[in-house]
A and B are shown apart, each in its own frame.
Chain A
C-alpha cells in the first residue's frame, strides 16, 4: 500500500527558492493591496461612487399667485402621465432581442440589422406592447417613437419613460383601477401651471416655459451624474419678475445603480440621501379679480387697455390688455376678423402701448395754465366757433359748429379744444411739458412687470430739436395742449397721472403687490390753489354728469372723468380717465380703446366709457360691502 501523504523536510534547500518566489509575489500583492486600499482609498472610493451613484433632481412646485382677496389666479394642477419603469424590463428587452434575432436567422435574410439596431427594435417593441395595453384601456391609438425611447435610455435612463402625458381625470381613473399595482406601467404626477380664469389678466400674470436646468443648491452629490426633471421658469409678466420667489426649492434623491445604469431598489431604511422638493413662495397681488373680469368683459372683443389704481396706495386693481390669450393653452383670443400678427396679441398695451393721450391731457394743460396764471378760473373764457386759427392754420374743435362761450369748467366738461388751444398757447409749450414731466410722463412707472416701455415721449421744443432736428412751431403747442401730436404715454402712466391728480399730488408709484398695511403714498403737491383745483374737479364731475363722459355715470357715485379722442397713424383712440368718489377718491381709472374701422367715430365717451362704468359698478358693489378706507389727505394749497 502506497503512502497517501508524502512528507518532506522543511530544511530542504530546493524549497528555499520556491519560498523566496512565493514570498516575493506575496510582497507584491500586499504592496499592491496597501497601495490601493490605504494610499489610493479616496481615488477608488470616488470612482466607485461616481460609477454606482446617480442623482435625480426634482424641482419644487411653483408658488401660487393670488388676487388681493385671496382668490387663486395662478395655481398648480397635477398633470397625470403614464410612465414605463424601464429598469423592470431588462429581461423582456433581452428576450425580445433574442426572439427578433432568431426570426431573422430562421428567415435566412442576408441584410440583417446590426446589434445596435436590433437592441433599439427590441426596446421599442416591448415599450409598444405596454403602450398597447394602455391603448386598449383608454381606447387610444398611440405609438412609441423609437428615437425618443433611445434618447431617453441614453440620457435619462434612471427616470421613468413617459408613454402618455396630460391624461384626463377619467383616463387616469381607468388606469389606476385596471393596471396591476406591480406593473412596470404606473401613473405618474407632475405639477403644471393652472390658470383658473383662463385669459384674465394674461399679460400681467405672464406664463412659464420649460426649464431643463433647475437650480440645485445645498444638495450633496454635485460630482455625480445628475438627471434633472424638467422645471419651469417665468417668461413674462409676474411669473418672470417674481420667478425667484415663485420657484420651489429643488428636491431630489441619490440612487444606487448597477453597472448598466439601472436603479437598484434599496429598502427604505437603507435609502441614500433624499430631500423633498418644497413649494415656492406665494404672491398676493394687488389685482382685484372681480374688477379685472368686469373690465375685460366690458372691453368685449375690442382692442385696448384698462388700468385701475387704488388712489391711496398706488396698488393696481386692474391691468387689462386686449386682445389676450388663454394662459392655459397660450392661444390668442381673437375675433374672426382679427389677425394674430396684426392684432399685437402679445403686446401688453397697458404698459407697452404708446398712445397720444388725447383730451385727457387737458387736465395737465389746465393745471399748467392755472399754475402759470395764463388761465384764471373765473375770468378765462372763450367763444368757441368750432375752430381756432394758429397763424394761417385752422385747428378744429370737436363741435364743428362751436360750443359757444366756455369757461374752464365748461371747457373741461365739453372737451372744448378751442379753449385749450388759446390758453395752451398762452401757457407755452415748456410749462405744459414741465407739467407732463411732473406727472411722470417722461419716465417708466417702475411697476413690477418686465418690458415696460422705456422712452415715452413728452413733446417740447427741446425734445423736438434734439430728436427730430426741427424747430418748434406754435401749431405744435396747440396740438400738445389738447394731447395730440408727439406726446406718447402708456395707459398706466395716464392712470398714475389721474390717481396723483385725485390725491392733489403729482406722482403715483404703481405696485402689483398687495399689502393690507401699506401706507398712503405721498409725493409733491400739485401746487394749485384749492379753488383752481376744485374748478378742474367741477369740470370733470360735470363731464361725468352731463358732458362727454356721461355714459360712465353710475347711480349713487360721484365721479370725475374726462374723455379723450386721438389718432395714432390709422388707428383711432378712445380715451377716458376717471376717479371716484369725488369726496373721498379711492379708485382711479384709465381706459383706451383702439379702433380701425373706417367711418366709425371712436370717442372716449362712447367706447371707453362702458369699460369705466363696468369697473366702477363692480367697485361700488364691493365697496358697499366693505368699510371705506380713510379719506385722502389733499395737498392742494
Chain B
C-alpha cells in the first residue's frame, strides 16, 4: 500500500524538496544562479536573432533587380540628405561650443553612440521590453538612454555579458522628466498600460495649468535634459489631451507615442562617456 500511496504524492514531495533546497541555498549561490540564467539564455536569444536576420536576408534576396535599384536610388537620396544634416550639425555643434566657452557654461554630457540590434521583444500589459544584442562586451551601462530616429526608445535596465534589457518608453515602469517643446518647465512622463494591437501611449503629469492640448492641436513632448539621464530635446511623443488633475494644481493627460517603437529592429544606445557628470 505504501509505495502506491507514495507514487501518488511523489510530484508534490519532489516540488517540496526543490523549494526547500532553493530556500536553504546560500544567498551567493542564489544570486549567481539568477545572474547566470540570463547568460545561459543569452546565446539562444542571440542565435534566434541571427536566424531571423538570416531569414530576412533570404527574403530580401527574393526582390527583383529593379526593386533593388529603386531602393538603392532612394537610399542614395537619403544619404545625400543625411550628409547635409551632418554638415549642419557640425556647424551647430561648433556654435554651441563657442557659446559654451563664451558663457563659461559646463559642457553638456557627452555620449558615445552604440548601435544595437533588437534580439527579442517582451510585451505584456505590465511591461514592454527589448533585449538588444549588445551588453557588457560593448561597454553598455545600466540606465543608459536608448534612442532611434523618432526619439526616445527607453532605458537600459539590465546589462548582461552579450545582451542588455531595455525598458521601453511605453512601459509603465518607465518615467522621465520631460518638457513641452518650447517650454522649459519640467513635467513628468510615465509609460501607460498598453494593450496589444493598439497605438502605444503614455501619460503626463504636473503639466502647468495654462498649457492646453487636444487631438487636433497636440503638443510635442520632448526630454527636458534636467533629469540628468536623457539629453534635452529628444522627441517622446505628442500630448493629445490634458485635463485638470484632482488637486487642481496641474493638468494630466495622454501622450501618443511613435507606433514604430514596437517594431524596431535597430536602436542606438547613448553610452555616457563620463557617467559621473550625469
Chain A interface (Cβ < 8 Å from any Cβ of B):
58, 60-61, 76, 78, 169-170, 172-174, 176-182, 187, 189, 191, 248, 251, 276-279
Q: Is the CB of A78 within 8 A of B206?
A: yes
Q: Cβ of B173 < 8 Å from any Cβ of A?
A: yes
Interface stretch of the complex, out of B21-29, B80-88, B185-193: B185-193
Q: How far is the CA of A251 from the CA of B185 in the complex (A)?
A: 28
Q: Give Cα A424 to B247, complex, Å.
A: 63
Interface residues of B in 202-225 (CB under 8 A from A): 206, 224
Contact of A178 among B186, B188, B227 (CB under 8 A): B227
The residue that A191 contacts in the complex, of B173, B226, B230, B249, with Cβ under 8 A, is B249
B249 touches A76 (CB 8 A): yes
Do B186 and A170 touch across chains, with their CB atoms under 8 A apart?
yes
B residues contacting the other copy or chain, number (CB 8 A): 22
A169 touches B226 (CB 8 A): yes
Structural contact, B224 and A61, CB atoms closer than 8 A: no
Do residues B228 and A178 form an inter-chain contact, with CB atoms below 8 A? yes
State whether A181 touches B226 (Cβ < 8 A).
Answer: no
Interface contact A177-B247, CB-CB below 8 Å = no
User: In the complex the two chains form, is B177's CB within 8 Å of A173's CB?
Assistant: yes
Q: Does B175 contact A (CB under 8 A)?
A: yes
Q: Does B227 lie within 8 Å of A191, measured CB to CB?
A: no
Output the least CB separation between A209 and chain B (Å): 20
Which chain A residue shows the least CB distance to B230?
A177
* Distance of A224 from chain B, by nearest CB (Å): 21
- B174 / chain A contacts, CB cutoff of 8 Å: 181
Given A78-B206, A169-B185, A189-B206, A177–B227 Cβ distance below 8 Å?
A: yes
Let me know if B248 and A277 touch, CB within 8 A.
yes
State whether A278 and B248 are in contact (beta carbons under 8 Å apart), knowing that A169-B186, A176-B177, A177-B177 are contacts in the complex. yes
Contacts of B177 in A (CB 8 A): 172-174, 176-177
For the complex, give the distance between the alpha carbons of A58 and B176 in Å.
27
The 3 closest A-B pairs by CB, nearest first: A177-B227, A173-B226, A173-B177
Give the Cβ gap from A280 to chain B, nearest Cβ, in Å.
Answer: 10
**Contact of A172 with B249 in the complex, beta carbons under 8 Å:** no
Q: Which residues of A contact B224 (CB under 8 A)?
A: 173
Q: Which of B172, B206, B248 contacts A181 (CB 8 A)?
A: B172
**A182, B167: Cα distance in complex, Å:** 14
B107 on the A face (CB < 8 A): no
Cβ A173 vs Cβ B186 within 8 A: yes
A-B contact pairs, 10 of them (CB 8 A): A58-B247, A60-B248, A173-B226, A174-B228, A176-B175, A176-B176, A176-B177, A177-B229, A189-B249, A278-B248
Most chain-B Cβ atoms within 10 A of its Cβ — which of A76, A169, A176?
A: A176
Asked if B182 is at the interface of the complex by the 8 Å CB criterion, the answer is no
Assess whether B227 is in contact with A276, with CB atoms less than 8 Å apart: no
> Contact between A61 and B249 (Cβ–Cβ < 8 Å)?
yes
Question: 18 extra interchain contacts, Cβ-Cβ under 8 A, other than A76-B249, A177-B176, A191-B248?
Answer: A61-B247, A61-B249, A78-B206, A78-B250, A169-B185, A176-B175, A176-B186, A176-B188, A177-B226, A177-B227, A177-B228, A177-B230, A178-B229, A181-B172, A182-B173, A189-B250, A191-B247, A279-B248
CB distance from B166 to the nearest CB of A (A): 15
Distance from A610 Cβ to chain B, minimum over Cβ atoms (Å): 36
B246 within 8 A of A: yes
Which of A169, A187, A248 has the most chain B CB within a 10 Å cutoff? Answer: A169
How many Å lie between the Cα of A172 and that of B177 in the bound state? 8
Shortest beta-carbon distance from A483 to chain B in Å: 49
A181 and B247 contact, Cβ closer than 8 Å, known pairs A174-B227, A176-B188, A189-B206: no
